[in-house]
Amino acid sequence: MKYYIIAGEASGDLHGSNLMKALLKEDVDAQFRFWGGDLMQEVSNNLVKHYKDLAFMGFIEVIMNLRTITRNLKFCKKDIEEYNPDVIIFIDYPGFNMRIAKWAKQKGFKTHYYISPQIWAWKENRIKAIKRDVEEMYVILPFEKDFYEKKHNYPVHFVGHPLIDAIVNRTQVDEYTFRADHELNEKPIIALLPGSRKQEITKMLSVMLTMVDNYPNYQFVIAGAPSQDYSFYEQFIKNTNVHFVSNRTYDLLSVSSAALVTSGTATLETALFKVPEVVCYKGSWLSYQIGKRLVKHIKYISLVNLIMDQEVVTELIQDDFNPNRLKTELDRILDPYERTKFFMSYYELEKKLGGKGASTKTAKLIYETISQ
């Protein structure tokens, strides 16, 4: 079978690569053509476009890059027609993927969606397009199944969260070697995860780094995103107690005592590593005002709290994300008693996510469906 896969972000590259590996076990003759990144390219050489060229964040940036986005849409449609796949698999990235799905369904291609757009948070009216354009939907959050099936009468497959597989199956790091390789001393580590895009990193990291002088008995380590070079981060590193590790976030989390994390998938990754965290978010004033009006009925921004339906991790949003509040919350997650409560909540979270095997379940369902 011929599979055309579209992933537009680093997380999609990770989950796409594991799905491709699982598909190869189901279908030994599987051929891939895809939009993604380095991890997917390790499975197959047929990379069409790298997600680094597709990442536009926030309302303003999208508007400024409309010409590029339109050009990419046109190119993608042409490329799909020339490849003529047996199925198109969309991985999250809804602004782009839903437009391609509409066109693809009209052209008669099979359309499968892995990792649902978060329409339960905003743009719920996208359900009409999903019902019309997506033949099979594979959801990874437990509450999404009820949202689709009970609220919108649209059957979906709950396959569990692929992050569990990504974390369980990774190569275990030796802490002594990791510290030696990155010139880290014996002090406990506070990990800083400021996001992956330049404007996001700039806003988040400058506030996170105000904590350094308050905690001389800890060392702070920035988790560098694969999409950014060290030269970009270098401007922020003014203290000898701040270190940098590029593209080794999982290894870093596995040896960290606490973490300050920008809202997004990283909040869930941090929880699955059982690391107490403070969730942080600060966007431009205009983007935040627009977003706040669009997302009215969601109580939390972090996946951890959304899945647990309670505040397990503190969320510091916009004006609350300031040095005073951040220090208060960092003190709290370093307290031994509070840390025990975190660990108990994190184990419950993992149970709710459905256990291992998301990639395998999804690959099996896709292959069985398109083979019929």
Give residue-wise pLDDT tens across range 51-90.
Answer: 987 755 555 455 556 677 788 999 999 999 999 999 999 9
**Structure pTM?**
0.82
Rounded-to-integer distance, Cα 301 and Cα 6, Å: 25
DSSP alpha helices (H): ranges in 27-157? 38-43, 58-64, 66-83, 94-107, 126-133, 142-146, 152
Q: Are residues 91 and 11 in the same domain?
A: yes
Q: Are residues 22 and 118 in the same domain?
A: yes
Q: What is the mean pLDDT of the segment spanning 146-150?
A: 96
Q: Greatest CA span in the chain, whole angstroms?
A: 62
Q: Are residues 364 and 347 in the same domain?
A: no
Residue 276 DSSP code: -
In the predicted structure, residue 290 carries a pLDDT above the cut 60:
no
Assess contact for 192 and 213: CB atoms under 8 A. no
Q: In what order do the strands lie in the sheet with 219-224?
A: 242-246, 219-224, 189-193, 258-262, 277-281, 314-317
Q: What is the pLDDT of residue 2?
A: 98
Q: Are residues 207 and 348 in the same domain?
A: yes
In the predicted structure, residue 47 carries a pLDDT above the cut 60:
yes
Where does the pLDDT of residue 99 fall: very low under 50, low under 70, confident under 90, or very high at 90 and above?
Answer: very high
Q: Are residues 117 and 151 in the same domain?
A: yes
Closest CA to 13 of 31, 35, 46: 35
Q: What is the mean pLDDT of the segment spanning 273-298?
A: 72
In the predicted structure, residue 285 carries a pLDDT above the cut 70:
no
Q: What is the mean pLDDT of the segment spanning 236-254?
A: 93
Where does the pLDDT of residue 150 fall: very low under 50, low under 70, confident under 90, or very high at 90 and above?
Answer: very high
Q: Are residues 311 and 247 in the same domain?
A: yes
Report the alpha-carbon angle 210-215-217, nearest 5. Answer: 150
Rounded-to-integer distance, Cα 359 and Cα 19, Å: 5
Residue 325 belongs to what domain range? 181-352
pLDDT 10s digits, 108-124: 999 999 999 999 988 89
Q: What percent of the chain has pLDDT over 70?
A: 93
Q: What is the pLDDT of residue 60?
A: 47
Q: How many CB atoms lie within 10 A of CB 311?
A: 14
In the predicted structure, residue 305 carries a pLDDT above the cut 60:
yes
